[in-house]
Amino acid sequence: MNTLRKQILVAFAAVGFAGAAFAQTAPAAAPEGRHGHAVTAEQRAAHQAKRAAHRAEFQAKRAERQAARAAKLRTDLKLTAQQEPAFAAFLAAGKPAARPQGQSLGKPAGERASFAALPAPQRMERMVERQKQRTARMEARQAALNNFYAVLTPEQKKVFDSQPMHGGFGKGRGHGGGHGGPGHHGARSAALQS
């Protein structure tokens, strides 16, 4: 009986050594993706190319919608040649801030990791700085809106004020609204306004 136990132990040890040797010679596994699936460099590049194509298509469609809205607004307001420069400045101020070449909408993984590695006070400083930049862009848009609004006739102002909210002008749905009522937060925003 002891010999049987010894043989079993020797067999297990041999299997263990063989497994360890195999693990050392096995090729390194491909890096894992977001959901634990192995992702090759080619798959990652293909995914990034697909996202870039989708982003370009989205931006082209958005530009078309914005151009159509601007043309409709120009027609509805019956702008004069003297009002056109203020209208062009207003439209230019409403465009999203240009991103540096090659920068995506989201943060690259390296930038996210470096941001996460910062101490909490420095992360907050960066967040405050980004908010200040957003606020400066909004103030520039407001100045362009005020300049444009000042050149409108009272009749044009009524037409302009009745327009739905797109890109910061008119009144209506607000940022991302439409499903829950006026403003960004639906009924809560409407209650705050009354």
List the chain domain ranges: 117-160
3-state secondary structure of 181: coil
Dist CA 10 CA 137 (whole Å): 74
Q: Which residues pair with 38 in a beta bridge?
A: 32
Q: Terminal CA-to-CA distance of the chain, rounded, Å?
A: 90
CA distance 132 to 134: 5
Helix (H, G, I), strand (E, B) or coil at 89: helix
Higher pLDDT, 3 or 74: 74
Q: Read off the pLDDT of residues 126-159 as tens digits, 9 standing for 90 and up.
A: 999 999 999 999 999 999 999 999 999 999 999 9
Predicted pLDDT at 79: 92
CA separation for the pair 94, 192 (Å, rounded): 26
Q: List pLDDT tens digits, range 64-87.
A: 998 899 899 999 999 999 999 999
Q: Does 119 score more than 70 pLDDT?
A: yes
Instruction: Tell me which DSSP letter residue 48 carries.
Output: H
Distance separating alpha carbons of residues 184 and 194, to the nearest angstrom: 15
What backbone torsions phi and psi does residue 175 show, to the nearest 5 degrees? -70, 115
pLDDT higher than 90, residue 174 = no
Percent of the chain clearing pLDDT 90 (strictly above): 39
Q: In the numeric block, which tokens belong to residue 190?
A: 């409407």
